[in-house]
Structures are given as C-alpha cells and as structure tokens.
Amino acid sequence: MGLFGFGKKDEDAPAAPAGEVTLSDGSTYTVAKVVDCLGDSCPRPQLMTKKAIKDAASGDVIEVKVDNPSSMEAIPPLMDELDAAHLETIKADRCWEIYVQKD
C-alpha cells in the first residue's frame, strides 16, 4: 500500500465501457472513460484530460465532468493539440459534461 493509503491501481486490466451518451445531433457514442474533475480547478482538469486522451485508443470517447467554468471553457480548445475532437459540452444539474473523441 502506498503513501496515505493509495496503492498502485491495476492499470493493466482493460477498462469496461463507462456507458453510452446520445448527443444533441442524435449520434450515440459508447463512453470509454469518465474523468471526474468535480471540485478541481485549473489546471488539474486539463492535465487529467490530457492524460486520459494520451492513454485512450483511437476513436475512444471520453467524458470529462467539471464544475469549474474556466475549465469548461479551456478544455475544448485544447483538443487540436491533442489529436482529439470536441464532440459536445452538455450542462448537467451541477456540472458540465464534456465529450471528446481521440482521433
């Protein structure tokens, strides 16, 4: 067990799909991973999104949950430099759900 009770996670195990999302244009995607950035402020959501995209396979859709308005605005423009595409940002009850897809 690591420092403060955080042990190394089993990163070799394949991740199960996190669900499906239907966007406003009617297209449906399987979400490969959810990045929970609720309560985090810049630059943590951007860094966590970068890591998730780096680790994703081509075509994977990632859902990023943020409740910080500046993070919600900063993540979509980041996609060009990460070889990914911003699909849509949806306003949920207490957060924004940002959907991105790795090229």
16 confidence band (pLDDT: 50, 70, 90): low
Q: Residue 39 sits in a domain of what CATH number? A: 3.30.110.40
Spell 42-65 as b/e; 16+ CB within 10 A means b: eeebbebbbebbeebeeebbbbbb
18 confidence band (pLDDT: 50, 70, 90): confident
pLDDT value at residue 39? 95
* H helix or E strand, kind and range, residue 95: none
The parent domain of residue 86 ranges over 17-102
Closest CA to 36 of 52, 21, 20: 52
In a domain, 9, yes or no: no
Split into its structural domains, the chain has a count of 1
In a domain, 84, yes or no: yes
Interval 77-99: pLDDT, tens: 999 999 999 999 999 999 999 99
In a domain, 88, yes or no: yes
Note the pTM of the prediction, 2 decimals. Answer: 0.83
